[in-house]
Chains A and B, each alone.
Chain A
Amino acid sequence: MHDIRNLTISSTNPCLLVYLIDQSSSMSDKFGNASHSKATEVANAINDIIYDIGLRCISANGEIKNRFEIVIIGYGKKPNSVASGWEGQLAGNWVVSIKNIFDFPLGQENDKPIWIMPYANSNTPMTKAFENAKRLCNEWINWGNHKNCHPPIIINITDGEATDGGANYHDLKQEVQQIKQLRTDYGPINILNIHLSSRSGEKLLFPSNVNSGDEFEKLLFDMSTQLNENMIRIGCDKGYSINQNSKGYVFNGNATDLINFLNIGTPQ
């Protein structure tokens, strides 16, 4: 395995980012004290992170370099179904390069381009979302020189429990286990999970173990992979108490945690 610190993400060695967005009906609940819903908060955060990625990819001559390829998988917009989150000109595509993303924004809000709209409609087919992420990542890794690239990063944003996880979430665990087997020459796929909550309760930020007894909390923790060195560095810079064993997992996160979480999960 090569040292990830010697890797520069470039247009010839891009990185795949996969965002899984919960679009179940509970995402219409207000997010903490905010006047808007969790779905809106997530859509804003994703639009912001895409914009930030664009900032990192713009060259001196104003050209957006294809350093990142992005997948948005929405789950729960329709009952038991997953769909690509890209809309407008990008509708129907699953993997889109950052260059193409900037060519086709949906519109602008506050002088900033947007690509993702908020939805909160049905149930939570999280297993199906991970299954699609697995298929996309597997194909991406085995395409061209992608084995020589940064391993894909899957970021799951949810506020609830999977409705298609099977008995004891066996199906969901199995999908995630299979994803964890996928790797490039720079290491295995990273899986990060953030659970958003509007209820009061203790937050759990990038823990190295959990023992609260909450089954779903434990499940999301087990599904998450350990943060890599670059993520640990960014997390520490943002003031989180993170060590070598910390996992890419946040439970009961708030809006700031969401933004920081997305930044930590996105390679610099």
Chain B
Amino acid sequence: MEVTVLQIHKRSSYEFKFIEDKISINTFNRAFALSDGTTQSFNSNIWAEIITKQFVDNPTFNSNELIDNFTFKVSEYNDFEFEVSSNPAIAAVQKEKRAKGGTATFAGLQFKNENSFDFISCGDSNLFILNGQNEFSSFPFNDIDGLDSNNYFLNTEYLFQSKIDETYFFNKTIYLKDDDVIILVTDALSRLILKTPSILKQIIELKTFEQLHNFCLNHWERKVLEEDDISAIIFDLKEQKKINILEPPMGFYFPKEKEEVFIPTINKIIEKENTFNNLEMKEISNQFNGVANDFYQVKRKQKLHEQLLLLAISLIIINVCFSFYSTTVNREEIQLQKSEIVNRQSILKNAGYKINIDGVWGKDSKIEWEKYLLNKTTKKDVK
């Protein structure tokens, strides 16, 4: 059986040392454990590490026994020293957070033989089994709503106060076929798989940290994978006995994004509704004078535009009147010409020229008239 451990921290944690998911393996016991420390609780990564180690060293699938084992470990978590902030507000939060204890999910399994394993979990970590026909089953959550409605976590103070009982745990013995692949994941990956089951195949095929890194970046950027620590353990039954660890190499980190503080520009607008000092009054006065000056200039330009517009309208009116007058005159000219044409054509006809008296002064009429005038002049000259 080949075991592959995949882990990468969320970008906002920058470095792998701040990852809050913890994985422990005990090859002698054939036991594996995964825990997701909640960001909201105090030093949850330490608590996650304590419980995974405890489980793989002494695996049990009896819920009450496991509760006892974990409760015994609470003191180890509480012994952890921390430095209190000098800022009293932050110190108050630190103390209260510590008083509320560490919180984490838990999932553990142990192979009894090659064909079965026992599984126990508390919280929203989930187990998937992919068979040779690419069909998958999951436990304990089969859908996202079920996963998101889970509200059971292992909290140190709750354990200490005996507020956690066996109802917090999911427990099952799972039987396997030779070509089954088992994938144990924390909530972010689980949510993605439940939404897009075909992603399981892609996760199984991740063989290097670079591939894991690119896979997460791609899905984070597309907003389909929650920006959270990503952890998975993959068990491939048909492969040779081997453990692969895909986690960030030494020196790997996500660049710190520049944290800019939003300052609304409307701050000033709203604030100035109330009081103004002398400097602000002067500035407002200057701005008002500037606006008044601009308004004066605009008014001046507007006056010029008005005059130009009046001139243009006057010219248009004159033009219209002139056009009307000239059209009337032309009509008269045309009427005179018509009577003149008929007169000229009569003269030409009488003088023996071949022409019709039709009142149209065409090309022929014009030529014949010119001939007539020429002849008339010539006759006068001869006389």
Name A's B-contacting residues (CB within 8 A).
2-3, 5-8, 10-13, 51, 54-56, 58, 60, 62, 64-66, 69, 81-84, 92-95, 97, 100, 102-103, 105, 108, 111-113, 132, 135-136, 139-140, 143-144, 146, 185, 229, 233, 237, 268
Known A62-B82, A268-B40; judge A6-B264 contact (CB<8 A): no
Nearest to B91 among chain A residues (CB) is: A62
Residues on B with beta carbons closer than 8 Å to the beta carbon of A237: 151
In the bound complex, do residue A140 and residue B264 qualify as a contact, i.e. CB atoms below 8 Å apart? yes
Q: Judging by beta carbons under 8 Å apart, are A111 and B92 in contact?
A: yes
B191 at the interface (CB under 8 A from A): yes
A-B complex: 10 closest residue pairs judged by Cβ atoms: A113-B89, A2-B223, A10-B12, A8-B227, A105-B89, A102-B89, A54-B93, A12-B257, A6-B226, A135-B266
Question: Count of B residues near A, CB < 8 Å?
Answer: 48
Q: Are A54 and B228 in contact (CB under 8 A)?
A: no
Quote the shortest CB–CB distance from A68 to chain B (angstroms).
12
Binary interface encoding of chain B residues 90-109 relative to chain A, with 1 for a CB under 8 A from any of its CBs, else 0: 10111011001000000000
CA distance A237 to B94 in the complex (A): 25
Q: Is the interface of B mostly helix, strand, loop or mixed?
A: loop
B336 at the interface (CB under 8 A from A): no
Q: Is the pair A55, B93 in contact by a Cβ cutoff of 8 Å? A: yes
The answer to whether B94 and A58 have CB atoms under 8 Å apart is yes
Which residues on A sit within 8 Å (CB–CB) of B223? 2-3, 6-7, 185
The verdict on B28 contacting chain A, using a C-beta distance below 8 Å, is: no
Q: B18's closest neighbor in chain A, by CB?
A: A60
A132 to B267, CA, bound (A): 10
Quick check: A62 and B83 within 8 Å, CB to CB? yes
Q: Identify whether the interface residues of A are mostly helix, strand, loop, or mixed.
A: mixed
Bound: A211/B89 CA distance, A: 45
Chain A minimum-CB-distance residue to B226 = A6
Find B12's partner among A11, A56, A229 (CB 8 Å cutoff): A11
CB within 8 Å of A: which residues of B?
10-12, 18, 40, 42-45, 82-85, 87-90, 92-94, 96-97, 100, 144, 148-149, 151, 191, 223-228, 257, 259-267, 270-271, 273-274
Q: Are B264 and A95 in contact (CB under 8 A)?
A: yes
Pairwise interchain contact B90-A144, C-beta atoms closer than 8 A: no
A139:B225 contact, CB within 8 angstroms? no
Instruction: Kindly state the separation between the CA atoms of A135 and B268 in the bound complex, as whole angstroms.
Output: 12
Shortest distance from the beta carbon of A67 to any chain B beta carbon, whole Å: 9
Q: In the complex, A209→B43 CA distance in Å?
A: 44
- Which residues from A are CB-within-8-Å of B260? 144
CB distance from A113 to the nearest CB of B (A): 4
Please give, as numbers and ranges, the residues of chain A lying within 8 Å of B151 by CB-CB distance. 237
Contacts A8-B227, A102-B87 aside, 10 further interface pairs with beta carbons under 8 A come to A5-B148, A11-B257, A54-B90, A60-B42, A60-B45, A102-B89, A113-B88, A135-B266, A143-B262, A144-B260
**Given A62-B83, A233-B148, are A113 and B92 neighbors across the interface (CB < 8 Å)?**
yes
Q: Are B259 and A5 in contact (CB under 8 A)?
A: no
Q: Are A94 and B264 in contact (CB under 8 A)?
A: yes
Assess whether B261 is in contact with A54, with CB atoms less than 8 Å apart: no
> Can you name 19 A-B residue pairings with CB atoms under 8 Å?
A3-B223, A5-B191, A6-B191, A6-B226, A7-B227, A10-B10, A51-B92, A58-B94, A60-B18, A65-B12, A93-B267, A97-B261, A105-B89, A108-B89, A108-B92, A113-B88, A113-B89, A229-B148, A233-B148
